[in-house]
């Protein structure tokens, strides 16, 4: 789906120009959707207990395990559009 890929890449670029910074939960959702859409299922080792930011990001990505890349890309595009 080249059209979806182009929309996804445009949304990634637009994410850097949002008028207001999203809250942390929304940022984690964006991170998880981005990683799922661009990499696929999380196969990384869970960060240690002392790395709270790394663990939160890992959890956000891991929660999307099994979501297709296309679904994740579309959800990312939709979320960025709603924040713009």
pLDDT digits (tens, 9 = 90+) for 35-65: 999 999 999 999 999 999 999 999 999 999 9
Domain ranges of the chain: 2-83
Assign 3-class secondary structure to the chain: CHHHHHHHHHHHHHHCCCCCCCCHHHHHHHHHHHHHHHCCCCCCCCCCCCCHHHHHHHHHHHCCCCCCHHHHHHHHHHHHHHHC
Q: Is the pTM of this model over 0.85?
A: yes
What fold characterizes domain 2-83? Acyl-CoA Binding Protein (1.20.80)
């Amino acid at each position: 789906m080249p059209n979806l890929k182009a929309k996804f890449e445009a949304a990634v670029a637009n994410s850097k120009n949002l008028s207001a910074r999203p809250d942390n939960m929304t940022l984690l959702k964006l991170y998880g959707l981005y990683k799922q859409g661009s990499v696929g299922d999380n196969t990384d080792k869970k960060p240690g207990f002392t790395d709270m930011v790394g663990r939160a990001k890992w959890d956000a990505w891991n929660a999307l395990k099994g979501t297709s890349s296309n679904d994740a890309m579309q959800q990312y595009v939709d979320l960025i559009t709603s924040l713009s």
